[in-house]
Structure 1
Amino acid sequence: MRRVTIIGASGFVGSELTKYLERFGYTLRCPMRRELDDLCGDFGTVVYIAGYGVCGDIHDKLNCVHANTISLISVLKNCKFDRLIYFSSTRLYMGSMDSDESSDLLLLNDDNRRLFNLTKLVSEDLCLSTEKAVIVRPSNIYGTALKSPLFLPSIARDAVKNSHIDMYVTPSYEKDYISVEDVCMLIEKLIFTKKLKNKIYNLASGENTTSKSISDVIEAETGAEVLWHDVENEDYFPVTDIYNIVSEFDFKPKSVLADLKKMIIDFKFAHKEGMF
């Protein structure tokens, strides 16, 4: 069975991918973050999920550059692999009108996380320079992660625990969400398929969901109060084009609103058991 090295296995997506591939009998290697700059040898298929998204002070910015790009450079220079799958982001489409994988991309001056986008663009360009690398651009990944700071788990947790959620977006704010289960399934297809048709794949549901739709589900399932806070500026994301994964893998995405109901049931049980 194919050997797979998961870089970033301790994170939410990495840990879920590890469990998923173990069920399929893959031989896995999961190096620690501190090992990345010194890795060398033959690693089979490499899935590079390690990353850092905070772009606050200089410490955060240095971590962002190191995790998203510098450690990748070490892997590209020192490691042998059959295929490398690099996790980028659909955040690169922010502010754009188009979202297929060949679209021109914007860098917004008023984006306080533009360094994140820059590191992903640099790393993508490096990956495009080798025939063995494939790039995936996931949208907002969700799943039942009890202590996750991600948007959906955090507001579901607050609704169950505190009967209250704070929304720092407008009701009409919308973006794409993809299930971590769908992500794992698609990554396994990218690992297993010998000849891929594309170099870049958007991993997304192909439709945007408004924050009002999400809050309506949470209110109905938990009775939690929703407090909408004023916002001055809001990010814009076009609907993500998923033609590549639909045509190549017959992808049928899960519904985030249906899954949110199941997630709330899991959070209720976990809270009852004192798990948070």
Structure 2
Amino acid sequence: MSTHYTVIGGKGFIGSEIVSQLRGAGEEVVIPARGDEMLFKEDLGIVIYAAGNGDCGKEPFAVLESNTTLLAQLLEKAIFNKLIYISSTRLYMEQEGSSENNDLKICTNDNRRLFNLTKLVSEELCLRSGRETIVVRPSNVYGLALKSNLFLPSIIRNAITNGHIDMFVTPNYAKDYVAVSDVAKLVYLISKNNQHNVYNIASGTNTTAAEIADIIKEKTHCTVTWHEGYKGEYFPVTNISRTVNEFNYEYAHILTDIETMINNFKKILSNG
């Protein structure tokens, strides 16, 4: 028997992959439109909250609305069995630990601290709402997103279309990357059975900018220019023991997947 899911943000990068995998597993999925009043009138079943905004510079109020305000309304007023909120491992930036139960701090020199603040508020609302909720914290999600302005799709696109990439971080800048397919698979597994209320979803390995640039250069024969200036933030290696132990999960790795991503980009670009 299928389970009823409501995916908030189901047309976005992460949300659309979650929807695809849920439907592929035979589950019933509803993707409500923005402002749909059904959210507060009908039984939503299992809610997956994949909406979000990270543009703190240009859209601070939209960041609050997408990351927190609608979530608070759902927690207070909506009818559902369970809600899974997609947060971020960016909360571990500049910190020593990366376990789900580590203390978290806000960095005053972070120009995207509003994003972290809204994620923290949303997590706390989930955990204190008295409802059945689960928080998942994905690391930097990658996948085939040709038009995305995120770091990895942008440099692969530039390597293929321009034959050159500009790197505005230092070669040793490192962070964790997780495949969008892994995020969707684990969200589904967690929706069925969970032993904890907070989960990291990450590869468990930090990959440097130099490692990424080297493999893109090898596969596309592009040139690379490293620019002075931005050093990048520090991210500790993400602790993934909960998902590995609880679900016996094996994550994909970005360096293995980059060649496939490059081939997929080339096919899409060649088809117009």
TM-score bin, normalised by smaller chain: over 0.9
2:264 counterpart (252, 263, 266): 266
Aligned match of 2:52: 51
Q: Which whole-Å deviations, capped at 9, do the CAs of 1:218-257 have from their partners, x for residues lacking one? A: 0000011111111244211000000110110001110111
How much has 1:150 moved relative to structure 2? 1.6
Q: Residue 125 of structure 2 aligns with which residue?
A: 126
Matched, 1:78 2:77: yes
- Within 1, Cα distance between the matches of 2:97 and 2:109? 20
User: Unmatched 5+ residue regions in structure 1?
Assistant: none
Describe the SS at the equivalent of 1:148: coil
Distance of 1:237 and 1:109 partners within structure 2: 16
Q: Could you tell me how far 1:37 is from its partner in structure 2?
A: 9.7
Q: State the match for 2:144 in structure 1.
A: 144
**What is the letter of the counterpart of residue 22 of structure 1?**
R
- Closer, same or farther: CA 172–261 of 1 in aligned 2, 3 Å: same
> Which residue of structure 1 aligns with residue 105 of structure 2?
106
Aligned residue type for 1:157: R
CA distance in 2, matches of 1:66, 1:207: 32
Question: Scaled by the length of structure 2, what TM-score is found?
Answer: 0.96
Amino acid corresponding to residue 14 of structure 1 in structure 2: G
Aligned positions, number: 270
State the shift of 1:177 in Å.
0.4
* Structure 1 CA distance for aligned equivalents of residues 141 and 40 of structure 2: 28
Note the alpha carbon deviations across 1:154-195, whole angstroms, 9 max, x for none.
1111111111111111000000000011111101101222xx
CA distance in 2, matches of 1:183, 1:267: 21
CA distances 1:188-210 after superposition (whole Å, capped 9, x unpaired): 101222xx210100000001000
TM-score normalized with structure 1 length: 0.95
Matches within 5 A, 1:9-48: 9-35=10-36, 39-48=40-49
Name the SS of the counterpart of 2:35 in structure 1: helix
Give distance in 2, aligned partners of 1:72 and 1:36: 14
Q: Residue type of the partner of 1:17?
A: I
Aligned to 2:61: 62
Q: Whole-Å Cα distance in 1 between the matches of residues 120 and 185 of structure 2?
A: 25
**Distance in structure 2 (CA, Å) of the matches to 1:232 and 1:85:** 35
Give, in whole Å, the separation in 1 of the partners of 2:79 and 2:38. Answer: 14
Please give the alpha-carbon distance, in whole angstroms, between the structure 1 residues aligned to 2:14 and 2:210.
26
d(CA) in 2 for partners of 1:229, 1:33: 40
Aligned to 2:178: 178
Q: CA deviation at 1:32?
A: 1.6
For the 8 Å contact 1:99–1:238, the answer to whether it is kept is yes
Which residue does the alignment assign to 2:93? Answer: 94
Give the superposition deviation at 1:38.
Answer: 6.0
- Matched position secondary structure for 1:33: coil
Tell me the CA shift for residue 39 of structure 1: 3.3
Counterparts of 2:24 and 2:49 in 1: how far apart (Å)? 20
The offset of 1:36, in angstroms, is 6.9
Which residue pairs with 2:220 in the alignment? Answer: 222
In the TM superposition, residue 263 of structure 1 has moved relative to its aligned partner by: 0.3
